[in-house]
Every structure is written in C-alpha cells, then in structure tokens.
Amino acid sequence: MTKPKRVGILTSGGDCGGLNAVIRAVVRRARDYDMEIYGIKEATQGLMSRPVEAELLDIKKVSGILRYGGTILGTVNKGNPFAYPMPDGSVIDRSQEMIEGYHILGLDALIVIGGDGSLAILRKLAQQGNMNIVAVPKTIDNDLGATENSIGFNTAVTVAVEALDRLTYTAISHSRVMILEVMGRDAGHIAVSAGIAGGCHIILIPEIPYSLDEVCDRLMNRALKGFNFSTMIVAEAVKTPSGEPVKYTNSLGQSLYGGIGQYLGDEISRRTGMETRITTLGHVQRGSTPSALDRILGAAFGVAAVDLISQYKYDRMVAWVNREIIDVPISEAIAQYRAVDVNGSLIHTAVGLGTYVGEIP
C-alpha cells in the first residue's frame, strides 16, 4: 500500500467552538507523515463545486487559529447530497458529483468533522464512492454516544454559564425570575451542565417530564423564604405540559425550536404574579471563542485522526473515553444516541443541590 499523501479535511453541520483547533492540529501533525492537507470549503459543497473548492493548508495558514470561533473552512447544515434541494424546488441525488470531487482532488483520505447527521451522510458517500474517511465528533448537543465529549459542547456550556452569572446579578437587582433558554436539540446536556455550574434553581430538559404546578410552588417557596430572585434554565426541546414542542416556521419554511422559555415565563407570571424575564441564548453558544477544554480536545482529536490515516485505519471516529483518545467504527458511533441519563451522576447532583429537575420517573 502506498502511504497516504493527500488528505482532505472538511467541517460539516452546525459550527461550534473548537473546529479551528482540530484543523490546526491536523495540519501540524501531518508534517510528521509528509502528508499534504487540503481544506475543503463549505463541507460537501466544496466537493461539488467545479473547480473543487479546496486549498492547501500549510502551517502558516493555521497559525493562531485555535482561538478563533467558527470554522475557517465554512460549513453547511443543509443540502443532503442524496436529496439535494434545487432552486426550482426539485430534489435530486448529487452524491456522485461529491464523490468525483474527492477523486478529482486525488485524495487518499478525508477527515470529516461533524455530528451524527453529517457523519451518516459522509459514510454513505464514502461507501458508495470508494473514499477513505476518518471522523472527528463535533456537536454542542453532545448527543453522540460513543464519546464523552464532542467538540463544541464545553464552549456552549461555558457561554451559558457566563450568561447565567450575568442574569443572576440583574435578577437580584430587580427581584425577578430569570429564565434562560438554551440549545441542545432533543438532548438536555447543555441545560444540565450549565444549570449546575450556573447555580440554577430549576433545570428543565426534554428527557424528564415536569409539573408546572411544582415549578411555580418551588419559585413561590423560595420567595416565601426571603430569596428575592430565582434562575431557571430550560432546554429548547422541552415541551409544554400538554406535550407540544414549541417551534416556529420561518419564511424559508424551516421548522426551528424556540419559545419554550417565553411560554414558561408567561405561565409562571400568570400563575404566581412573579415578574419573569426570558433570554434565549441561541447561536451565541455556537459562535464563541473556544473554551480551553475544546481546544485541548480539538488538538487531541486532530492528532489522533492523522495517526489513524497513517495506519490506514479508515471508517473510524476518534472519541474521548475515560480520559483517553480511542477510535470506534463510524457505524457504531452514529448508532449510539446519548440522551441525558436520568439516573446518572449529574441529575443526582442537581437533585442533591435541591434543584428541581422535573418529575424523575
């Protein structure tokens, strides 16, 4: 087998803190194996463009980027190549064009940084098109089961904790209930971690049903005990008590989470007379300067991904388990979804602190 020489790298799906740290680590490690690293623009879109949109990344191009938010390569979280939306409204299969892009570039391997959705698509492309891929997990939602941490999660939590600290000061000044709505799609990991670190009195996540009566009682009890404020964090996918997700459809027809914080705030004020204010953190959680942990994880994942390629170990994802880097088959990684463990240590900790986390079954 000839040694892998030309290696591509792309970021796919929603951006987050730590992506540039991975890219930098890949380029730096590649020197040890005489590999050339080609940064592909805008995820699979770059492979579909003609000429293919990619640039040779040398050590100077990645100098200092580990502290930048976002991704220097750009990314997309739509445009599935197998069902690609065309301007005329039709949907076509453009997978072959992306596969050709890989071969036009003459790549020996491709490093894909993505969450479960992107990894499933890239794996299908790889199998169909004889492409060698190695995956690096990233998602602020942290819902990939095979790794304890994905790139971006810790940064998102850090941003949410900063927000809670600020909200707490103003809550105390004005004697209010402050509600912070955070991202996480269908998983409550950001809400649980930030809620504990930010000292929230109530944490609501999609994995645990809750009672609005109990939420109101808890807030009233705090007030009766002489506390003039409370803070509450709610994950965007928490449903209303009647089981409805709170979503809206924008003018492009995209259905997005958003509004459960406002819904709960209105209900709490109506039922208790307490003044509430709502902050929806949104994409601030994604665009931040990466935390120290995400830079460390990015560095470790980047180095490990290049090492895998040097050993011809393809179709695998690097992962962080028990303070070590390991690698697992991508098929296994995308099959294991990780929701918050209702019986796990973090929920136990929150309950032990006296925080209301819902009605644990």
Kindly identify the residues of this chain, within the stretch 32-61, that bind ligand F6P according to CB under 6 A: none
Please, which of residues 84-113 interact with ligand F6P by CB under 6 A? none
How many whole angstroms separate alpha carbon 295 and alpha carbon 25?
10
Closest listed residue to residue 180, CA positions, set 273, 248, 282, 268: 282
Cα 305 → chain centroid: 19
Q: Which two tokens stand for residue 87?
A: 């301007």
Among 9, 10, 12, 14, binds ligand F6P (CB under 6 A): 14
Q: How far is CA 151 from CA 30, 71, 195, 234, 250, in A?
A: 20, 12, 20, 22, 28
Which one of 20, 75, 139, 279 is in contact with ligand F6P (CB under 6 A)? 139
Smallest gap from Cβ 141 to ligand F6P, in A, equals 5
Q: Are 112 and 12 in contact (CB under 8 A)?
A: yes
C-beta closer to ligand F6P: residue 256 or 351: 256
Give min distance, CB of 26 to ligand F6P, in A: 22
State the Cα–Cα distance between residues 73 and 345, nearest whole angstrom: 37
> Does 233 sit near ligand F6P (CB under 6 A)?
no
H helices of 31-139, in order, are 44-48, 95-104, 116-129
Least distance between ligand F6P and beta carbon 237 (Å): 8
Smallest distance, Å, CB 187 to ligand F6P?
A: 8
Contacts of 293 (CB under 8 A, 6+ apart): 149, 154
- What DSSP string runs through 73-84? T---S---GGGE
Binding mask 64-83 for ligand F6P (x = CB under 6 A): -------------x------
Q: Does 153 bind ligand F6P (CB under 6 A)?
A: no
- Answer whether 203's CB lies under 8 Å from 302's CB: no
Binds ligand F6P by CB under 6 A, chosen from 24, 138, 286, 316: 286
The C-alpha atoms of residue 150 and residue 271 are separated, in whole angstroms, by 39
Residue in 140, 178, 318, 333 binding ligand F6P, rule: CB under 6 A: 140
Task: Figure out which of the listed residues 42, 108, 116, 141 binds ligand F6P, where binding follows CB under 6 A.
Answer: 141
Q: Would you state the structure tokens that stand for residue 7, as one six-digit string?
A: 């290696």
Position 257 contacts ligand F6P (CB under 6 A)? yes
Separation between Cα atoms, residue 307 and residue 303, nearest integer Å: 6
10 bridge partner residues = 112
123 vs 286 by CB, closer to ligand F6P: 286
Please identify every residue annotated as catalytic.
141
Stretch that binds ligand F6P, among 57-65, 133-141, 169-177, 191-199 (CB under 6 A): 133-141
24 binds ligand F6P (CB under 6 A): no
Question: Under rule CB under 6 A, which residues in 318-347 are in contact with ligand F6P?
Answer: none
- CA separation for the pair 228, 192 (Å, rounded): 23
Q: Is 242 helix (H, G, I), strand (E, B) or coil?
A: coil
Contact between 127 and ligand F6P by CB under 6 A: the answer reads no
Mark the segment that binds ligand F6P (CB under 6 A) among 52-60, 89-97, 139-147, 319-327.
139-147
Region of 183-191, 263-271, 336-344, 347-355 interacting with ligand F6P (CB under 6 A):
183-191
- Closer CB to ligand F6P, 8 or 18, in the complex: 18
Q: Does residue number 183 form part of the binding site for ligand F6P (CB under 6 A)? A: yes
Number of helical (H) and strand (E) elements in the chain, helices listed first: 12, 15
Q: Which residues form the interface with ligand F6P (CB under 6 A)?
A: 14, 77, 139-141, 183-185, 236, 256-257, 286
